[in-house]
Amino acid sequence: MNLNERIYKKLLQVPRGQITTYGELSKSVGLKNGQRLVGKIMSNNPYPVIIPCHRVILSTGKIGGYAFGENVKTKMLSDEGIQIENGKIIDLKNKFYRF
């Protein structure tokens, strides 16, 4: 299984209504400081409807980018019960998924 597949498979574990960070996802597949690489892989996600890359955010709590735009990412997260204010996750601690 290549790195992209390992990352996508891990991301499938993040349940609806929870989020993870690029760094946490990176660590979960054995990459140290691989946040940028994970971001690049997420930006090339061939199955965004199936592989929930919208659930990956920045470690600062900001939602970060999304291939279909930040407004779409915000809407998708909001629809899953994630509260966002000024582009930042509210109650990050209780919505955070650790692998």
Model confidence pLDDT, tens digit, residues 45-99 = 999 889 999 999 999 999 999 989 999 999 999 999 999 999 999 999 999 999 9
Host domain of residue 51? 3-95
Report strand pairing: 84-85 vs 56-57: unpaired
What was the pLDDT predicted at 90? 94
* CA distance to 68, 80, 82, 84, per residue, from 4 (Å): 20, 25, 26, 28
Catalytic residue selected from 25, 41, 53, 76:
53
What was the pLDDT predicted at 67? 87
Per the structure, the count of domains in the chain is: 1
What was the pLDDT predicted at 60? 95
CATH number at residue 78: 1.10.10.10
Is the distance from CB of 51 to CB of 6 less than 8 angstroms?
no
Global model pTM greater than 0.85: yes
Whether 69 sits among the annotated catalytic residues: the reply is no
